Amino acid sequence: MPRHAAHPHPKKAGPQPPYSAEKQAPPGKDKQMTPKADHGEDSYTGSAGLEDKVAIISGADSGIGRAVAIAYAREGADLVLSFLPEEEDDARETAKWVEQAGRKAILVPGDVGKKKYGQKLVETAVRRFGKLDIVVNNAGFQRTYDEIGDIPEDEFEQTFRTNVFGTFFLSQAAAEVLPKGGSIINTCSIQAFEPSPNLLAYAPTKAALVNFTKALAKALAKKEIRVNGVAPGPVWTPLIPSTMPKEKVKEFGKNTLFERAAQPAELAPLYVFLASQDATYVTAEIYGATGGRTPF
């Protein structure tokens, strides 16, 4: 199983608030974060759990996506990395870590909300690597508003298009080529079960993903393809300083039992487990990692 270097008590396994509230322009840049996010660059040790597998990871430029990419590469997988064109600098940093692990990284920028782009990702994996084994639907769009009347129509639509349509389109394309034993993993959220009032567009998309995960698992069971979700609580990623109010950024994660936000590296082992042969009896499940706030 995947493992990390020895950590101290969970409260001390990552930086605690207060965090820097310096605002970023969305979708945010990893290099501009203070404190720096830990993606497992110096801590994750693989154990060949995904040897010679091929995975697509959306939102692979930073945050959970980068941490999963590093972990998958160190477990032996080759990757197709999906990201927005404006996030290419961060995506190239992810690719660098994948290549340092001795695996291949194919960069394919684009908008997951477009059906043709989801098809392109799958076609790229099959053309470049000859197959596709794993899909991680991780790309997400989030904005915060204090009043429902302030949410622009186009942003409401974009939130659903990225988070829900993007997951649907990529899963739809992948289902045509995934083999028996293949795996789809969706990044859900605690927001699906404990929604925040200032995330009135984002939270419902995550509830939709929980429902979609369970329904798709039933639909693909006949093909022996497993579908699961990970529901994180607060995680220190570029989305936070670029989309949340300064006062919330400063105290982000303080309301968990460990009084801090998770680091992306702490989520990656769940994605490794769900993609691996250790999870052959696991499907239609939602795995929470919320620092003790799990309400489901």
**Count of residues making up the chain:** 296
**Sequence-ordered alpha helix ranges (H) in 147-277:** 153-160, 166-174, 202-220, 239-243, 246-250, 268-275
Catalytic residue, chosen from 202, 271, 281, 287, is 202
Retrieve residue 173's tokens: 């394309």
271 as an active site residue: the answer is: no
CB 220 within 8 A of CB 263: no
User: What SS3 state is found at 215?
Assistant: helix
Classify 219 in phi/psi space as left (phi over 0), alpha (psi -120 to 50) or beta. alpha
CA 68/CA 153 separation, integer angstroms: 32
Place of tokens 């995330």: 199
Of 115, 128, 4, which Cα lies nearest the Cα of 56? 128
CA 245/CA 274 separation, integer angstroms: 33
Place of tokens 């697509």: 56
Of 131, 92, 132, which Cα lies nearest the Cα of 108? 92
Retrieve residue 275's tokens: 């993609």
> Angle at CA 233, nearest 5°, toward 229 and 235?
105
CB 244 within 8 A of CB 144: yes
CB 177 within 8 A of CB 132: yes
CB 201 within 8 A of CB 191: no
Which of the residues are catalytic?
Answer: 202
